[in-house]
A and B are shown apart, each in its own frame.
Chain A
Amino acid sequence: MAELSEQDIRRLTEEALKQLGAEATPQNVEKVVRQAVHRVETEVPAGTQQVQPIPQPGKGNRIIITAFGKNQIGILAALTGVLAENRCDIIDLSQKVLQEFFTIMLLVDISGCSKDFEAIKEAVVREGEKLDLKVIIQHEEIFNAMHRV
């Protein structure tokens, strides 16, 4: 993390004043300077980067769960039960039963969730296996990339 001197902050303030021009109220200047300081402080020095969480710009952290298998009592209850336990927010769901085959799709927001993506994935897949379901879990972004121009 970079150490900021008083001189740096003065320089940032001058830069902010120049940028804001006529809109330079004390509050606005403070806001811009704070943002700049935050940027500097959170910059990762080269060579030390680690695998970070997938960035989800402006979309929250939404995943799509798809499950297929033979229709039976309790599929929806089992899947949603696991999600509720992990404080995942179900935004939308759609299901189809064709003769005895069952397909379900859930759009789930995991941003308020107590566990990370891998842990939720494992929990839901394990629950699905108990019911002989094939469960596939993916971040929503891939579908937006592939199916929206």
Chain B
Amino acid sequence: MPIALEEILETIRMTEVEHFDIRTVTMGINLKDCSSDSLAGLKKNIYDKIMRVASEHVATARKVESEFGISIANKRISVTPVSIAADGFYAEDYVEIAQVLDKAADELGVDYLGGFSALVQKGFTMGERNLIQAIPEALSQTKHVCSSINVASSKAGINMDAVRLMGEIVKQTAEKTADRDAIGCAKLVVFANVPEDNPFIAGAFHGVSEPDVVINVGISGPGVILRAVREAPQNMNFAELSDRIRRMAFKITRAGEFIGRTVAALQNVPFGIVDISLAPTPMPGDSVADILKAMGLEDVGASGTTAALALLNDSVKRGGLMASSHVGGMSGAFIPVSEDDGMIKAAQKGHITIDKLEAMTSVCSVGLDMIAIPGDTPASVIAGMIADECAIGISNNKTTAVRVIPVPGKKVGDVVDYGGLLGLAPVMPVSSLNNAMFINRGGRFPAPTRGVNN
């Protein structure tokens, strides 16, 4: 069937007016074969491998963008968790490795490189502990490197020692980058049930079961879904509303998969997955919060917000799963505060609180994301937030995460402007009640019974 003029115009409206783009095309690169008997050798092997494998990544993505008229907002790289590719080093060695990763990312022209990571849900190796200790220094000395630490899973439970440690590391990272409003914390995520093929930063890394090189794609497109919901009559019921969202999700996922497959084929590497998460930007009209409002809420934070998000998330999955055989990564709706115009406004008005956001994370794909909190928040409170998110994650068999920014010197009511995709973060209040005794217990928080499902 030939393509109708209306279909062409719809596509153009999606890309030109509704900000539909491919959020990221991320090349995953295995670094397990880079080991060496010396730090210098290891650094050289890592640098050489990334530069060799990814040499055409940005150029190829640009070419595909131009030929199909769909913009690829970010070209990124993820690597094997550095604690696996390079176990058994000292903290200062890991900082040097981060610098090598940063240098490669810079020379290749990618905006972020993910994988300064460790998976410690059950316990630490010495190298993993040292890598975590190196995070504040590594993130303050590099521009492109992102770090993620998985501290819990439905099978292993929660490593509460790691949770406590990460509370302190988030604080230290904020202090090390205090001159840049704690930007280091925007590059650091703490996960439960982390997916190993996630193309989105800051949580991207190249899982141990992945092939040597792979291309994963993350789509965006809240603006497109927003139009579909806005154009729906006020009395449309939920089944029909879901259907409208599903149809749009199908189209944007198909575009994402097509672009990803093309970028992969041109570089002669396998295509991995499409992550069908709706990723918002701070641009007006490109907001997940606005979709929830368009469903009939005065603002996000109203009672019914969690249900609205659940409907959105499920409808997007239905369309996305039909559109692609390989859906992976996080695949849900993101609700980062600073990166979403509607969320920023709701937070500034006090309509949305951390408590409501926490409830929303039980139905959406990630967790407390890009939230600025007062600089004097104690490490134990941050650890408590991580523990809460981990509990939601492992009890519901889903990914959850915490990316909060305790901005030094800022208090509730202040606003931090990071610019670009990271956006504008109003400092939000958190509980100041004492939880130190709870956090200091440490040890392993047992896996939930539903984790034992064989």
Give A residues with C-beta under 8 Å from B. 44, 46-47, 49-52, 54-55, 64, 66, 92, 94, 96, 103, 105, 107, 117-118, 121, 136-148
Contact = CB atoms under 8 A, between A and B. Distances in A.
B302 to A, nearest CB: 34
Interface stretch (B65-73, B137-145, B290-298, B445-453): B65-73
B254 A66 contact: no
Interface residues of B, number: 34
Given A47-B52, A145-B254, 12 more contacts: A49-B267, A51-B63, A66-B9, A107-B3, A138-B69, A142-B69, A143-B3, A143-B8, A146-B255, A147-B3, A147-B11, A148-B1
A140 B3 contact: yes
Given A137-B69, A145-B257, A51 B59 contact: yes
Contacts of B9: 66, 103
Contact of A143 (B7, B16, B67): B7
Contact of A66 (B12, B63, B257): B12
A56 B9 CA distance: 23
Interface in B1-20: 1-3, 5, 7-12, 16
Contacts of B8: 64, 66, 105, 143
Interface in B263-295: 265-268
A145 B258 contact: yes
Query: Which among A51, A107, A146 has the highest number of chain B CB atoms within 10 Å?
Result: A146
Interface of B: 1-3, 5, 7-12, 16, 52, 56, 59-60, 63-64, 66-70, 251-252, 254-255, 257-259, 262, 265-268
17 contacts: A44-B268, A51-B56, A51-B63, A66-B8, A107-B2, A117-B66, A117-B67, A136-B16, A139-B68, A141-B258, A142-B259, A145-B254, A146-B7, A146-B258, A147-B3, A147-B11, A147-B251
Contact of B70 (A54, A107, A142): A142
Contacts of A96: 5
A102 B8 CA distance: 15
Contacts of B255: 142, 145-146
Nearest to B3: A143
Those 4 A-B pairs whose CB atoms lie nearest each other, nearest first: A138-B69, A145-B258, A142-B68, A143-B3
Contacts of A51: 56, 59-60, 63, 266
B265 A136 contact: no
Contacts of A44: 268
Query: Which among A51, A103, A145 has the highest number of chain B CB atoms within 10 Å?
Result: A145
Nearest to B69: A138
A37 B342 CA distance: 60
Contacts of A118: 66
Given A52-B266, A54-B266, A142 B11 contact: yes
Given A49-B268, A50-B56, A138-B69, A143 B63 contact: no
B90 to A, nearest CB: 33
A9 to B, nearest CB: 26
A49 B56 contact: yes
A147 B66 contact: no
A39 to B, nearest CB: 15
A90 to B, nearest CB: 14
A105 B266 contact: no
B177 to A, nearest CB: 37
A79 B8 CA distance: 18
B68 A146 contact: no
A114 to B, nearest CB: 18
B67 A136 contact: no
A2 B122 CA distance: 49
A46 B56 CA distance: 13
A52 B265 CA distance: 9
B2 A92 contact: yes
Nearest to A46: B268
A142 B258 contact: yes
B270 to A, nearest CB: 13
Contacts of A136: 12, 16, 69
Query: Which among B1, B251, B265, B268 has the highest number of chain A CB atoms within 10 Å?
Result: B268
B326 to A, nearest CB: 15
Query: Which among A51, A137, A140 has the highest number of chain B CB atoms within 10 Å?
Result: A51
A107 B7 CA distance: 13
B5 A138 contact: no
Given A49-B268, A51-B266, A55-B265, A139 B56 contact: no
B297 to A, nearest CB: 30
A144 B1 CA distance: 9
Nearest to A44: B268
Contacts of B12: 66, 136
B115 to A, nearest CB: 22
Query: Which among B59, B68, B258, B268 has the highest number of chain A CB atoms within 10 Å?
Result: B68
B369 to A, nearest CB: 29
A144 B68 contact: no
A51 B62 CA distance: 11
Nearest to A142: B68
A24 to B, nearest CB: 34
Contact of A141 (B10, B56, B68, B257): B68
Given A51-B56, A143-B3, A121 B66 contact: yes
Nearest to A63: B67
